[in-house]
Amino acid sequence: MNRQEPIRSVNNPRVKGWSQLLDKKGRDKRGAYIIEGVHLVQEALRHGAAVETILYSELRGLPDEIGPAAMEGAECIPVSEQVLAKVSDTQTPQAVVAIVEKARLSAESLLERRDGLVVVVDGVQDPGNLGTIVRSADAVGATGVVLGRGTVDLYNPKTVRSTMGSLFHVPVAEADLLPLLAEAKRRGVKLFNASLQASRTCYEADFTGPTWIVLGNEGKGVSPEVAAQVDEHVIIPMKGSAESLNVAMAATVLLFEAMRQRGL
């Protein structure tokens, strides 16, 4: 752990740089993002994320849950409450935040698993939905998640919080979906999508082979170009009067059915 002198001014150049990570433009430029709270920082450290800097409240002190041994190699800086507020996305800043380097994962690497279970996200816009999808993928032990263009930024602070740490457990990559899906099909992957117009239920589908589940935008669904690549459209049967499930809930149902078929 590399412990530094306190930073108390919000006008400090480093603080200004960190605060820019709250915006996508700043995150893309720096190749880094912010996580907030003891749990997320613990998970990042525990699972080997590239944690560059840990900022903690000079007033409240470094949380006991984040031991010095876990922070080996990370810069650790006490800061004022004003600085924490400057770099925080929440109304009540946490006692600790961290700057983490973005993971660099190639979506093509997910093609190497012959028994792969991958979630493909095409244009999901709500950060909470994307975070829940990543969390559900983690829960069932999915191979990974692929984000297509037009999908909300994975490193949006609201998305990061919604993953509850699953961001650090399951591989997530960005890709141009059309060539990637074409290559997946060439390698024997079967593409599924939930559709209200489908006649076959998700419980009749076979998810035991190489399976990629494609999820679309909350309002428009999967784009026509991506839908044309899908092998099988399935419907989630519902007994009640609800017209549909939201995309994160639909993803969870399909993923857990795939896990059931593959064996717990």
> 180 — phi, psi (to 5°)?
-65, -45
Residues facing residue 194 across a β-bridge: 234
- CATH architecture of structural domain 2-101: 2-Layer Sandwich (3.30)
| pLDDT tens profile 94-106 | 899 999 999 989 9
> 135 — phi, psi (to 5°)?
-65, -40
Given a cut of 80, is residue 71 above it in pLDDT?
no
Residue found under tokens 């993923």: 255
pLDDT of 172 reads 97
The CATH number corresponding to 107-262 among 3.40.50.1360, 3.40.1280.10, 3.40.50.720, 1.20.120.430 equals 3.40.1280.10
Given a cut of 60, is residue 147 above it in pLDDT?
yes
Share of the chain above pLDDT 70, in %: 97
Tell me the average pLDDT across 74-94.
92
For residue 172, the surrounding DSSP H or E stretch is strand 172-174
**59 closest CA partner among 38, 75, 80:** 80
| pLDDT tens profile 159-192 | 999 999 999 999 999 999 999 999 999 999 999 9
pTM: 0.93
CATH code 3.30.1330.30 region(s) in the chain: 2-101
CATH code 3.40.1280.10 region(s) in the chain: 107-262
